[in-house]
Structure 1
Amino acid sequence: MEKIQISLQATTPIVPGRTFVILRTCKKIDELTWVTWVEHLELEQSYLDPKLYNDLCCRGFAFGAERWVACLARSCERRSYHRSMSELALTHLKGQDLLDFEKRCVMMISKRMVRDFCLNIVPLCRQPDPTLCVPPPSLAFCYLKRQKSPNQDNPNEYVVFATTTFSVPHSPEFVLRILGDESRRHELDASGRIGRLADQVTCYTTGDDPMNKISVQANQSLGNNEVLLQETSVSPSGSLVVWSLLTKEPFELPRLGRVPQDFPLIGLSGVANSLQNTTTSSNTGGGSFITLGLQQVYCYTDLGPKLTEVVTKLMRDTINRIVAVLNSRKDQGM
């Protein structure tokens, strides 16, 4: 039995991160089976905000054991598919099948992309206003995080990550189906970097749910030198869709026997989606909370004090695109 202190952040910036003390033990049943047992502390009901994210908190999806179990099960499922999946062909990148080592590298790249998205969600450093609730898209507030770029050649270059959470009157299943569609990725891009994508989408599943998958497409708008990598992950606690533009270099490294580690993410975007408690007539199944995250690289000398304004406008434009796409698909009866 091991005593662990762990910090947990819901996939939204409007709920503060919380620290828990848990007891954990693991037991090996056989060569392929491990059992993990977790005991965690209970919280007084008064500690939780009565309105903000109340439904998820009370059901344990936001901070409790159900979310831990869901995340653990999803992680184990992804690993099992990694071990057992057949060879992946990125024919539009390589012209030939990838070997097992290359498949692991692709999953490693995608794992880093998802990790960066989750780590960059900017939580509140204080308890939220008790009168606050998850706002509609028009009132969504953007939270910004800025840090020096790892690019040593330009000391004025910054990486800015912005997050926001808003509610929509569509079911989580409908939102996932629309926002997880790789062929419509350019419709959500307000930066102008994602243009016409290759018709061929290389993808493979990472779980029993067919929506659990990683996909790769060539970004043909920029001379076919970049690819769009996307991972979609679904569990009982919600869904996550994260995508990023990458140069082809990380995909070429395995052929040279090298593991892709430090490589630039040319913009990073993602949406986390969870069920809200209210019911709605749109698409049935209740409404959804959507957390949008965008990462971009900016030169401070070019923007200066206008940096916040520029990033906020990009977020607002992206929110408007998401709402427009969801509404148009609803009107089409999808």
Structure 2
Amino acid sequence: MEFSSGGDDPDSHRGKKRYHRHTAHQIQRLESMFKECPHPDEKTRSQLSRELNLHPRQIKFWFQNRRTQMKAQHERADNSALRAENDKIRCENIAIREALKNVICPCCGTSPASEDPYFDEQKLRIENAHLKEELDRVSSVAAKYIGRPISQLPPVQPIHVSSLDLSMASFGGHGIGGPSLDLDLLHGSSSSVIPTLPFPQLTISDMDKSLMADIATNAMEELIRLVQTNEPLWIKGAADGRETLNLDSYERIFQSPYSHMKNPGIRIEASRDSGVVIMNCLALVDMFMDVKKWMELFPTIVSRAKTIEVISSGMLGSQSGTLQLMYEEVQVLSALVPTRQLYLLRFCQQIEQGLWAVVDVSYEVPHQDSQFSSPSKAQRLPSGCLIREMPNGYSEVGVRLRHRFDEISGVSLLNSIFDWKQVTWVEHWEVEEKAPIHRLYRDLIHNGLAFGAERWLSTLQRACERFACLMVSGNSPLIPSPEGKRSMMKLAQRMVNNFCASINPANGQQWTTLSGLNEFEVRATLHKSTDPGQPSGVVLSAAATIWLPLPPTSVFNFFRDERTRPQWDVLSNQNPVQEVAHIVNGSHPGNCISVLRGLNTSQNNMLILQESCVDSSGSVVVYCPVDLPAINMAMSGEDPSYFPLLPSGFTISPDGRVQEGGASTSIGSGSLITVVFQILVSNLPSARLSPESVTTVNNLIGNTIHQIKAALNCSTTC
């Protein structure tokens, strides 16, 4: 028996793994010690290290691998025994059925009309006994995955949460009447946003599943400790109050395969954040474990995701105990920042009544490096969130948010749909950069703001507020019915999803840098659009990013205000616009959906659909021309899934730069603005990027940026 050393080189897990073949004497001595003590302490491992001339880490990993192997062997034996017993019971059942067919009544010589009640009762008793034995065996196996007996789990009501429809009671538990919450809002254009990704055919053995279960269990334990431990493990920044990981304390506390090894080529990003969200626990966990809902819940962060295989499913009709192998790409909304691509294990567990945890941890898949085109190698160490029921259903923060909703909607919501949850989010990355980061985003990424916990949590809060706003009755004279409001929100959500997906091309498409501008880079890519809800033909996506010395809030207010639109919209020929419909989308006044109509224009049949979204991590303003009949159909409640959309817009984020002045230090005095246009360039599938198209795109983006700078009195960009 031979085992990989796994730890003979401190940096072995960061590069190519090195293997050490143990001698027969070493294996014999380790096996004899394993029989006496499968879990040796540090003193015993040190003694074996000196005796066998092996590194203590090699001893530790040998015992760890041996325990895993023994566990897998026992599980295979249990499975074989269960299958054999199941086959035996099935054969007995068939034999009994055949015997019953041949039973002849001694009095009349015919088959009995019905079976003997006494025989039926005895058969049921025997079957119940076998089922009870099988349940006990399955429970013992399942207990290995969750770390405690099944009998200690809190009772779970067999509630079915539909993937397409949640009533208002799902949010507040009050069961009041009203329209259902159509979770198809989270599926706005899944077919057009989620591309077909090539994945290798993986053969996952029982041994692999056992190893995955061990990795996920250890990751869950580490996540819970990261959430529940404060100083000195977490350090709160004096400038912004952000919680970042103290790496020295982490090294002392955690002795695991994920502990950081000092390597100058590795950068650590670790942050933690807590906040209140409005969502039912079961619905929230269900969205986390459904990959399509997950993508639609975080469209600005998750560009692509796919469930490779469900390793284990939940128990008793819930998601607790579910373990999945997934592929994921996370993004920053800019063509200058490549996506982070990784395979990961996602494990969900109900810790106790009213407390859930979902953990993600990277998992190495064979030949995965050949698939990844990203110039950086990112490994996600145990990350995720802890979701806790709030006492009395609300908190001080929740009351402030409720008052804000009352103010903007005119409807009291506290006793109807609000269901407050405390969410603590942890993000922990190891990143090895293979290429330099673009200078505009270097500070934002190095400070951990681009992929940090704050961004995940603020995006989740905004998405949950969007659902809560759907429960409010129509707040526009042109949209009197709940169905019309739901249809308009679906249309806007599909527009935002399409916009976010266009920034990072799918299926290996690369951005091409267009020449002709020295002040900023314009990047473009072509893709063929064949989805029913999109214009048919070849679509050009073009983007450019600039820096402005203005806070992100000021830039966002400038873009979303219809009164300042003629100052930057080069396609409107400086014609003013008027807002004809308005849908509240969150507690912040900037979270809204608008329908705009151009004034002093001959195109009376064309309107502009716009959605603006803002949170503490950044904002987006997305807009798209839509013809009047389509808007009328959506407002009347018809399905908007097939209305063609080709959105453009802006993304705004803080620059992440540290500003020092006197005794105070602040982060993020400027803004990074990405301008994105999508243009249908040809109805022919073989179209190419012509010089005329390059000139048109350069002029379009260049004129837009120059007008933005002039309107905001910014003479310089970076």
Using the size of structure 2 for normalisation, the TM-score is 0.39
* Residues 24, 39 of structure 1: 8 Å contact kept: no
Aligned partner of 2:650 in structure 1 is 271
CA distance in 1, matches of 2:565, 2:545: 20
Aligned partner of 1:298 in structure 2 is 681
Alignment of 1:133-148 (within 5 A): 139-148=519-528
Aligned partner of 2:475 in structure 1 is 88
Partner letter of residue 542 of structure 2? A
Q: Does residue 58 of the first structure (1) align with residue 446 of the second (2)?
A: yes
Per-residue CA deviations over 1:130-164 (Å, capped at 9, x if unaligned) read: xxxxxxx9621111122235499xx9953211111
Partner letter of residue 598 of structure 2? N
Partner letter of residue 669 of structure 2? G
Matching residue within 218, 231, 243 for 2:597: 218
Q: What secondary structure is seen at the aligned counterpart in 2 of 1:165?
A: strand
* Residues 17, 123 of structure 1: 8 Å contact kept: no
Per-residue CA deviations over 1:257-306 (Å, capped at 9, x if unaligned) read: 530111223x532111111116599xx96111111111122237999442
Aligned partner of 2:630 in structure 1 is 250
Aligned partner of 1:227 in structure 2 is 607
Deviation at 1:86, TM superposition (A): 2.6
CA distance in 1, matches of 2:528, 2:692: 17
Structure 1 pair 39/275, CA: closer, same or farther in 2 (3 Å)? closer
CA distance in 2, matches of 1:156, 1:33: 43
Structure 1 pair 310/157, CA: closer, same or farther in 2 (3 Å)? farther
CA distance in 2, matches of 1:201, 1:176: 21
Structure 1 pair 280/172, CA: closer, same or farther in 2 (3 Å)? farther
Structure 1 pair 326/2, CA: closer, same or farther in 2 (3 Å)? farther
CA distance in 2, matches of 1:42, 1:222: 53
CA distance in 1, matches of 2:690, 2:651: 30
Aligned partner of 2:467 in structure 1 is 79
Greater alpha carbon shift after TM alignment, 178-187 vs 12-21:
178-187
CA RMSD of aligned residues (A): 3.7
Q: What secondary structure is seen at the aligned counterpart in 2 of 1:191?
A: helix
Alignment of 1:29-178 (within 5 A): 29=389, 32=419, 41-44=428-431, 49=436, 51-83=439-471, 85-91=472-478, 97-122=479-504, 139-150=519-530, 157-178=537-558
Matching residue within 254, 261, 264 for 2:641: 261
Aligned partner of 2:128 in structure 1 is none
Deviation at 1:109, TM superposition (A): 1.1
CA distance in 2, matches of 1:151, 1:71: 27
Deviation at 1:75, TM superposition (A): 0.9
**Where in structure 2 are there 5+ consecutive unaligned residues?**
1-321, 350-355, 357-386, 394-416, 510-516, 662-666
CA distance in 2, matches of 1:113, 1:103: 15
CA distance in 1, matches of 2:589, 2:595: 16
Larger strand proportion of the pair: 1
Aligned partner of 1:208 in structure 2 is 587
Structure 1 pair 2/319, CA: closer, same or farther in 2 (3 Å)? farther
* Residues 48, 57 of structure 1: 8 Å contact kept: no
Greater alpha carbon shift after TM alignment, 165-174 vs 300-309:
300-309
Structure 1 pair 225/323, CA: closer, same or farther in 2 (3 Å)? same
* Residues 540, 681 of structure 2: 8 Å contact kept: yes
Q: Whose radius of gyration is greater, 1 or 2? A: 2
Structure 1 pair 194/259, CA: closer, same or farther in 2 (3 Å)? farther
Q: What secondary structure is seen at the aligned counterpart in 2 of 1:232?
A: strand
Aligned partner of 1:9 in structure 2 is 331
Structure 1 pair 174/258, CA: closer, same or farther in 2 (3 Å)? closer
* Residues 485, 637 of structure 2: 8 Å contact kept: no
Aligned partner of 2:71 in structure 1 is none
Identity %: 28
CA distance in 1, matches of 2:640, 2:681: 24
Deviation at 1:35, TM superposition (A): 7.0
Larger helix proportion of the pair: 2
Aligned partner of 1:288 in structure 2 is 671
Greater alpha carbon shift after TM alignment, 214-223 vs 248-257:
248-257
* Residues 170, 280 of structure 1: 8 Å contact kept: no
**Where in structure 1 are there 5+ consecutive unaligned residues?**
92-96, 127-136, 330-334
Q: Does residue 18 of the first structure (1) align with residue 344 of the second (2)?
A: no
Aligned partner of 1:323 in structure 2 is 709
* Residues 164, 292 of structure 1: 8 Å contact kept: yes
Per-residue CA deviations over 1:88-107 (Å, capped at 9, x if unaligned) read: 3254xxxxx42000001111
* Residues 22, 40 of structure 1: 8 Å contact kept: no
CA distance in 2, matches of 1:328, 1:168: 7
Give aligned pairs, total: 309
Q: What secondary structure is seen at the aligned counterpart in 2 of 1:146?
A: strand
Per-residue CA deviations over 1:235-278 (Å, capped at 9, x if unaligned) read: 1111111111111223222476530111223x532111111116
